[in-house]
Structure 1
Amino acid sequence: MSIENFENDDERIHDGLKQKNWNEIRSNDSWAIFKIMSEFVNGFESMARIGPCVSIFGSARTKPEDKYYLLAEKIAAKIAKAGYGVITGGGPGIMEAGNKGAHAGGGPSVGLNIELPFEQHFNPFIDKDKNLNFDYFFVRKVMFVKYSQGFVVMPGGFGTLDEMFEAITLIQTKKIAKFPIILVGSEFWTGLIDWIKDVMIGKYFNASPEDMKLIRIVDTEDEVLEVIDNFYKKYNLSPNF
């Protein structure tokens, strides 16, 4: 996008805001509560019937021939065969690979879809009764965290980082119970993790070294399942707890 286009978009946004006064904005916000409630209720009821799942995150831009697409597909199939369902954001790229692998592995294939101005459309590998649509990012994110027994984080963009760091924050602050957070692709993730260790923690002391124990970096589908299985064996749990 050019600077000129960006400025034009910015002007259109401000023009749109000018069309409503503060009372109209407040009134719309009040009515939006009912839409938000309905998304939560529908999400809770639908997800509670599915059972234990592992969420797989990653870029919507990853192509089917990419090595991480193929690896995500293998990971999802292995997870499904181990007794877990697979949750993705429902779109293309890594999300499609996750649902495709879950489908091939005979496990529940769940898609939490959201309307976006670009990239997002639901993929064909989601179980028909497990394709949920959301208007609100924050409702969708609650479903990812509440019904996941683990996060598998493939290479991705800002949305992928957002989901990963929110999960770490919620566990770190004890707002949710611990579950494994597995970063797949050492070549992609090592630079970020080194920065967290050396700069954020080592130099500025803005987090605890203990927090790094929440994260594992792996490179294969076998390692992913090993991390998940070892975590739940440690707490004497199983996929169907």
Structure 2
Amino acid sequence: MKDDRRKANAAQMASPSYRMAAMDQDFLLGDSMRGVRFLMEYAKAEEALRAWGVRSTIVVFGSARVRQDASWYEQARAFGRLASERGGALRGSVGEPRDNVIATGGGPGIMEAANRGAVDAGAPSVGFNITLPHEQEPNAYSTPELTFRFHYFAMRKMHLAMRANALVVFPGGFGTFDELFELLTLRQTGKAPPIPVVLFDRAYWTEVINFDALARYGMIAERDLDLIGFAEDAEGVWAELLARGLRPHENID
């Protein structure tokens, strides 16, 4: 009798509608659940960052195409190390929050270098990776428990921005420009706290972007030029961040 009932309701048991909602991947990946997926991408990273006591970060952007033998790579690595040593990522005791933890886009090149520098210091660092049509894998230096994979650029950007105490931008292309101008817009409009923004290698940045021309044509105010500082080596980046208000071992307001 039991076998007969099982056969009689086989179609109902096999129907996608009978799957538990949390276990139904077709449902979760459908259009109606896009908002839920946004929430999940926010909550998963948020939970892990809180568990590790990551209260604030220093975000490092730059090209994924920079090779290990390039000076930009070496300086990004050196900065990741010294910022981790001096900024508060190496907390003294269990339960004490970590500040100014290195956070990157999680990929190769400059991102790898900054994460690698944190490893050199024995500190954790964050990798906010993104799913791309041509698969991008995380670099081998971000802390495994703090290495995240996002589908939505918007949620990835939110996580990059929301804990940032500072932004350091090494030479890069479209992706680097996108992240830089996102943060500069938030600063210009007052939608983000007054965090310092430092560009590495003035010659590169002033050649590829004419910031002065933007002000001259009235596209930005003259005072907006003060949102950006420049530095030529890792020590110079750290000094410029401090001069612009970075507070080691302290969270953003």
TM-score by length of 1: 0.82
1:167 match: 183
Describe the superposition over 1:15-48 as per-residue Cα deviations: whole angstroms up to 9, x where unpaired.
xxxxxxxxxxxx9433211111110112222234
Which residue does 1:111 correspond to in 2?
Answer: 127
Aligned: 1:182 with 2:187: no
2:77 corresponds to 1:67: no
Q: Distance in 2 between matches of 1:146 and 1:129?
A: 19
Residues 189-218 of structure 1: CA deviation (Å, up to 9, x unaligned)? 12245x2212x220x211101011110111
CA distance in 2, matches of 1:180, 1:192: 21
Query: More helix per residue: 1 or 2?
Result: 1
- The answer to whether 1:219 aligns with 2:232 is yes
Q: Which residue of 1 aligns with 2:34?
A: 32
Cα distance in 1 between the residues matched to 2:223 and 2:212: 11
Residue deviations 1:174-200 (CA, integer Å, cap 9, x gap): 11111011100122112245x2212x2
C-alpha deviation, 1:119, in angstroms: 6.5
| Structure 1 residue identity aligned to 2:242 | D
Distance in 1 (alpha carbons) for counterparts of 2:203 and 2:220: 24
User: 2: distance between equivalents of 1:93 and 1:119?
Assistant: 15
Q: TM-score, normalised by structure 2?
A: 0.78
Q: In the alignment, what sits opposite 1:17?
A: none
Counterpart-to-counterpart distance in 1, 2:203 and 2:192: 29
- Partner amino acid, structure 2, of 1:190: T
2:199 counterpart SS class: strand
* Number of equivalences: 209
1:121 to partner: Cα distance? 1.1
The runs of 5 or more residues in structure 2 that have no matched partner are: 1-28, 89-99
For residues 65-112 of structure 1, the C-alpha deviation after alignment (integer angstroms, 9 at most, x for no partner) is 111111100111111111231001111111110100011122221101
The runs of 5 or more residues in structure 1 that have no matched partner are 1-26
Letter aligned with residue 47 of structure 2: E
Aligned-residue CA RMSD (Å)? 1.7
Partner of 2:25: none
Residue number in structure 1 paired with 2:8: none
Q: Which of 242, 247, 250 is 1:240 aligned to?
A: 250
